[in-house]
Structure formats: C-alpha cells, structure tokens
Amino acid sequence: MAPTLNLKEPAGNQSSWETLLPDFPKGPLCKYRKKASFNWKEMAVLLDGEDIIQLKNRIFSALESDPLFAHRPGEDLCREKYQELTFLRCKRLFEYDFLTPQEIVENPLKMFNMVICIGMYDWSPCLQYFLHCGVFAGTILSASKRFADFVKQVYSMEIFGCFALTELSHGTNTKGIRTTATFDRNTQEFIINTPDFEAAKFWVGNMGKHATHAVVYAQLYTPDGQCQGLHSFIVQIRDTKTLLPVPGVMVGDIGKKLGQNGLDNGFATFHNVRIPKENILNIAGDVTAEGKYSSSIKDVKERFSAALGSLSTGRILITALSTTNLKLALSIAIRFSAARRQFGPTDDEEIPVLEYQTQQWRLLPYLAAAYALDYFSKSLFENFVEFYAGLLTKQRSQRQADLGREIHALSAASKPLSSWTAQQAAQECREACGGHGYLAMNRLGEIRNDNDPNCTYEGDNNVLLQQTSSYLMSWMNCIKDKAPFESPFGTINVLQDYHHILGWKFTAISVEDCMDSSVPLAAYKWLVCYLLRESDLKLSKEKQSGRSDFEAKNNCQVYYCRSLAIAFIEQTVLQRYHAYTHDPNIPSTLQPVLKNLSALYGLWSLSKHLAVLYQGGYASGEQAGRFIQDAILELCYRLKDDAVALVDVFAPPDFILNSPIGKASGEGL
C-alpha cells in the first residue's frame, strides 16, 4: 500500500485557529466564502499542522516587514541590479535563521516549507539560497565527515557555492560530460581541465556572479590513463575577498533568460587547475596516494547512480516548486473569477465568471491537481528523507539500493508531471483572466516564465520519463515468471496482480458511480498494466526485426514507454491521494470536499487516456466516455462554491502573492 503522511489532527480549538489564521478582509469574495461547505482554517491546520503554519507566518511577516524585500511597483530593475538585490536578499535569509539545525533534523518538512514560502515571494533568491545550502552543501555532506569544517563555512557564507554538472554540449546526457580530473601522484593533486569550449560548465546557478566554490563533475583519470567515470570535486573558482576568478578559471554570466533573471546562471572553463587530493567528494570512489582507484560500489552503473544521487533531491524539490507555482496561479485566477462579473441571464444582471461551466472546467481540475500533487510532493519528500538518512549513515543494504531506485523512478516522473501541469495551468489561468491576466503587474506571466525552466533543468522531462519506464520494464521478468516482488514504498506492488488486472473492465453504470476516485484508480491500474504489456511487446518486436537495443528502445517511446511512465506517475499520485482522502481519521467536516477533489483529479487525468482505454478494450460503447465527462462537469459544479475557500487554504498573504487581481478581498479590479 502507498505510504501516507501522518494525519495532522486539527489541534486546539477554533479560537487557536483564529489566532494562527486571521479572517480575510471584507469584499466581493465574502459571498463565496459564506457558501463554502467547510471551514478553510480547519483544512489549513489539517494539511500543515500548527507548527508549519506558525513557521509560514513568521517567514511571511519577516519578508513583509523588511525594506530589502519591498516591492517596487512600476519599476523595471535592470538584470544586474536585480541580481545584486537577489544576492543581498539571499544573504538576509541566512541572517534570519528561520530554522535551527535541530528543528530541521526533528522535522525536515519545515525546511521543505521554508524554501516554498521564500519561493512564493520570488524564486530567484529562493533558488540561490537552496542551491548554496541545499544542493551544494548537501552534496558535500553526503560525501565524508572530513568536509565538516568546510560545510561550516558554507552556512556562515564565508564561501558561496554552486553545483557544476551541465556542460555546453551535454546536459541531460550526464555520461557525456567531458571535463576531466587527472590525478597527479607526484603532487597529490587532481588537475581539473576543460578540453574545449563545448565542455565548458554552463547554466550553473550562482556561478554567474557570486559563487566562490563549485562542486564540479568531471571524468576521473588515474595515472595509468584509465577513466574511472564521473566523480565530483570541490573547486575554488573565485577569490573569496575580491570575487575575481582564481588562476586557470574563466568564469562569467551566460546572459538574460526567459525568467528567473535574479539568479545568476554562469559558465566556467578550467585550464589545468590543481586542487588537493582531499577535494574529491568520495561518494562513489576514491584514489589512494599511489594513484590506485578504489570503490566500495563494484557495479559501474550503481557507482554512476551514486555519483549523481543528489539529482533526485533537485527533482523532488522541483516537484514541490512546480506545485507551488500551480497554487499561485490558481489563487489569482480563481479569486479573479469569483469577483469578475460578465454577462448574465438578463441585461441588468451580470454574474461572476466562476458561475460559467467553461470557466469551472478550465480551472477547477487544476485546483484538484494542486491538492493531489501537494500531498504527493510532501509524501515523496518524506520518502527521500528515509533514503537520505541511509546515505548519511553509509548503509549498503539491499533495501537502501531499492529505496534509491524507487525514489529515482518516482522523481524522474513526478518532475515532468508537476512542471507540465503547472505550465499548462499558468497559461490557462492567464487566459482565464482575460486582458487583466496579460498585465505584468498581475504576475501570471512571471509565474509562467519562472516555472518554464522546471520542465528542463535537472533533466529534460521527456528524457526523464524514459528512466521511469525503464524501471517499470525491469520488472517484466518477475511478472512473466510469476516470481514474488515488491518495492519499499509499494509503488510497483500494483504489478503483483498484473495478469488479473489485465482482465478488468470499466464497470460503472451511471455518472454517480464515477463520483469516487476508486473508479479512475481502478482504470489507472489497468492502464499501467496494459501499457507495460504493450511496451514490452513493442520492444520485443523491434529487437526481433533486427534492430539494435538502442534503436529498439528509441522506437518504443511515443505511445508506449512515454505513455507508460506518465500513466504510472498519475496512478501513483492518485493512489496516495485516494488513500489519504478516504482515511477514516479525516474529520467528517472536511472529507466530502477532499473526496470530490480526489475524484475530479482522477477522472480529469484519466480523460486524457480515453483513447487507450477504448483501444485496449477496458471501455466499450459510448456510455463509459460519457459518464467520465459528465462526472468531471458535475464535480466541477459541486466544487464551484468551495473554490475560493480551497485557494484560501494555500494562498499566501497579499504582499507575497503580489497580484492586484488576486487580492484576498477580491477588490483588486
């Protein structure tokens, strides 16, 4: 069974919620807030718990009270000024020290929520902060205790870090990285070298202007001329006092981007830069003083995965960042739709555009997706915490290896799902707000553009999906042999009933039958098994026709492996959210609306696969498709009066949201 987060009982009584979550100002949105079927404050306490809400309030209040974070309406900062301001804001975040190390250890979700809160204000300082103390420092921490003093300098900002993996000619194909690190046993140093400009480190966040040190990924060469594969090294790139490049390093900013221009993405080349032997991050392997390579991980593929283990951290974070962008866009568009009046049954009466079926159908499935993906991203983060604890304690058990494989497969698909969903939603929200949505001051364009790179960095979405489908295909031998198998988090356990599930059919006989997420969940289980079977058959046919493994795999992506990976991650998200929303411990005052969200997310996502459901024989006749479509529209209608309260649960304060048409009062028009 899929893991579920610990249910947070709405602690205290209603008076404690009032202190934590003050009422919204009076305005046009009051009408919808009064119609809501649930208390939004009770929902907020259930989903986050009082501790996290207090943390959010503390962060939001600090940013709003600090002149350094003041908004400058109508002022277009040039990129250089914006980058300078971003760095000052990043430094201030360290000064605030919102969380103690002890708090982070006791509840890692607090760190997760802190990053999201800062990102709601502006992703540039948020990402600069996280790249430095999360990705850069996290990679070093997972290597060896010998870097403990170095990490102290990271957190005191005596040094500023970046994560240098991508090169000009190789991004997603990390095996093709061409920067070299050659060990010189005479001086006990590694020589870092860029063979040509195509091998320059590129797109590296924080590298453009501010980073003094980098975790540099390079092919490790031992004195015998053997390449030992990709490894990471700590390399100083700038003087810590002057910020001038150190000898042998050429480093700079790559230029203006479509979004996130406060973050200084940079490039660097290395001309025989020497670093101490101790600067290798010995996660995957190490070199002796005599120049002999050693690794506790004998399998080359596993060693490569260990070297790149920190990428899963980034993909899990991007899943959460994208979900946050989804929430921001919806907070603006749904509040606008509830306040904006156009047309009506008579010439004298205009009604809110949220009352129109088309507007509900355009926005409310994305609202359901926001709730489902939010739950999933938190549960995936908790899965990762378990895996990371094993990394830090140097566990080498089979379970630890299985945890790594499953987390990798999940994060490689959740990043595409969440980033694409947020990107499509941001555009839909922009259009749903008409001309007002196109005004820069209302922030939907910024949200869309800042979310855009989530579809590309830490692995191109379409390429990442191949890693998930490969993971699923790897279980086919167990399935065919009917051998027992399971995964630590249970996400592939659905395949245990593969042969039985392939015989399932769509059994709903009315629209009302479809109003629970168990219906789309059953369909998704069949869909995953069917697409796995079809992908396996397609691959076998390609190989039988004489194609190489490379060609065969390439010819199995569209309509097969790609669809399989997407269906699998949608099924996993729905499985976890269905289990959560149907938990008997959910307060009866909140369960009906949560079940509606779960059903809507499941049916809406499933509707994109209707052709395959018919093609594979799961559904037949016109009724099945009609029931699903009608159920989606009915659920949109049922959730319409709850929509404003549902965004109130996750919308940040007006200062943070920074959108006139998204103001909590509804008076931004």
Q: Which residues are catalytic?
A: 458
Closest CA to 217 of 178, 173, 172: 178
Q: What are phi and psi of 444, to 5 degrees?
A: -65, -35
Find the DSSP H helices in 232-284.
Answer: none
CB atoms within 10 A of CB 376: 27
Closest CA to 597 of 520, 528, 657, 666: 520
Find the DSSP H helices in 397-455.
Answer: 398-432, 434-438, 444-451
Find the DSSP H helices in 135-204.
Answer: 137-141, 148-155
- Residue 4 corresponds to which tokens in the numbers above? 């579920």
Half-sphere exposure of 238 (CA within 13 A, CB side): 24
Find the DSSP H helices in 144-229.
Answer: 148-155
- With beta carbons less than 8 A apart as the criterion, state whether 238 and 261 touch: no
| Euclidean distance between CA atoms 361 and 382, whole angstroms | 32
Q: What are phi and psi of 228, to 5 degrees?
A: -100, 10
DSSP structure string for 109-127: HHHHHHHHHHHHH-HHHHH
Half-sphere exposure of 667 (CA within 13 A, CB side): 6
- With beta carbons less than 8 A apart as the criterion, state whether 455 and 438 touch: no
SS3 162: strand
| Euclidean distance between CA atoms 264 and 430, whole angstroms | 27
- Residue 97 corresponds to which tokens in the numbers above? 């020290």
Half-sphere exposure of 543 (CA within 13 A, CB side): 9
Tell me the torsion sign for CA atoms 404, 406, 408, 414. Answer: negative
> Residue 41 belongs to what H/E stretch?
helix 40-48
Closest CA to 456 of 171, 108, 264, 30: 171
- With beta carbons less than 8 A apart as the criterion, state whether 630 and 38 touch: no
CB atoms within 10 A of CB 224: 9
| Euclidean distance between CA atoms 466 and 460, whole angstroms | 10
